[in-house]
A and B are shown apart, each in its own frame.
Chain A
Amino acid sequence: MSDAYIVGVDMIKFGRFPEKTVPQIGAESALMALDDCGLTIQDMEALYCGNLGQASGMVGQRMLQQIGQTGIPVVNVSNACATGATAFREAWASVKAGLYDCVLAVGVEQMGKGLLGGAGAATGIPKEGLLGSGTMPAVFAEAGMEHTNKYGTTFEQFAKVSVKNHHHSTMNPKAMYQIETPLETVMNAEMISYPNTKLMCSVNVDGSAAAVICSESKAKELGLMSRAVKVRASVLTSDPWQERDLVMPDVNSCTRKAAAAAYEMAGLGPDDIDLIELHDCFATAEILHYENLGLCGDGEAGRLIDDGEVALGGRIPVNVSGGLLSKGHPLGATGIANIYEVTTHLRGEAGERQVEGARIGLTHVIGLGSACGIHILEKT
């Protein structure tokens, strides 16, 4: 099987674009990714398009109506917050399988403002606030408090994740927000669901990101190897049975399962990774994933954030893009946006926030329901 390489990748600066359509937002990053490698839509043999909000709306085809209707196969993908990573993985798999030599993956989302999750009841009465909360900040607060129950992790330690990621965002011109938030500011912000304050929740934004994936022979033929990044591992998992998962969506076991498979596929371990973009949809979630991805032992995540090991300049920088907390979280785009971030570092093109000497990076997303996508990328 041929190795697969990212030869072109980009994302738009995330924001709010109510005047645009979903295909228009997706088309922007698709063209940017093509420009990044100097290819055209005529060079693409297939399109894998991730979007959640219009999952039945043929977004990929409508996007090609904006940028070139070449008649290629289009696969529209929906997999909660792992949608973008799933589209990327399908694209990668088609190249690995030898079906195509050059394909395009796009993730795009247009979001409303406000709380996600726990919608009204179709029959009977609404259950929100009656049988607990189904809002996303609450669900992830409960996941964080499970860690508190087991290991004594504090509100302050969770809040430090936001301090770190918001600091990183000040070096990322593509982040929705680029604002320093001292610890007191984070902890004293409006409480949404304890222990997640407003500054510990990711931002609902519109956005898109895209990647061009080539086989090794095609990348060489096109003279694109100098900036190419090799996909060392691509893994997707669903949630294995857990005793509480009917009432507590489990983001841990599907991540652990995906991490183990990804490290095995790459023949690497956590110590080999130079930077990580992980799914910090809420500050509480990031803490869990330090352990889930094997960056430290169980129960040590609080110490990791206290000691600055996961900050830029630390042992294993996490979310130097600013993460979902500051960059924003356009659900279907997020999984490719974090691939853009890691690729940019491996190319040595990340500017002020560059992780020095980065050779290998890992991306992680979680879609509740649940799906986990992990990719390990390597500089060539």
Chain B
Amino acid sequence: MEWTSYLPPLLQGAWVTVQLTVYSTILGAVLAFAFGIGKLSNNWLIKGVSIGYIEIFRGTSLLVQLFWLYFALPIAGQAIGIDLRLPPVVAGVLALGLNIGAYGAEVVRGAIQAVPKDQYEAGRALNFTPRQAMWRIALPQAVPEMMPTFGNLAVQNLKDTALVSLISLGDLAFRAENIRNFTQDSTTVYTLVLFMYFGMALVLTAFMKIAERSVGRWKTAGR
């Protein structure tokens, strides 16, 4: 078989991988901000929930989280009479997003805490509320600091999507495995897949760099 004939199914798979990456990275970013800020809250309930989430999802493997959402949750749901069967895509996006969000939350927390105390004092002297100080003063300074690590996490997330092939989601890794089973042409298939993942990672990295530059524009103004 011509290697070009592998391309259509692989590209289909790659498209699923792209979607998984984009959706779960967005979900992860939202969770990262919510729980990263939550961990700094003075409200013990919000703080406790945030710490719990972060520790659980960082302390267990993504594979287990994925299997739990896809296989265990429906059974647990059955026991209490709720239908918790998730389509593979949903389970995949959720697992990936929850996992990357937990790592991201620590990055968000760290970057916010790294904003100098001086800045909060200036905010207080100008009578900003604590919430305004967070959104208007701390976060705009913290976000550029988070971006390089967020970039790494997004690429990590892209690579992690390969795991969802294990719940028979037709992503790039899943298609590759199918073609390999069918043709036994491991070398060609996996070389193609390697380059496709690498290409996607390059695009994603470039995209994150652009985002990084745009949120940190003020740092380089006039230089």
Q: Answer yes or no: are A and B bound together in one complex.
A: no
**B residues with CB within 8 A of A:** none
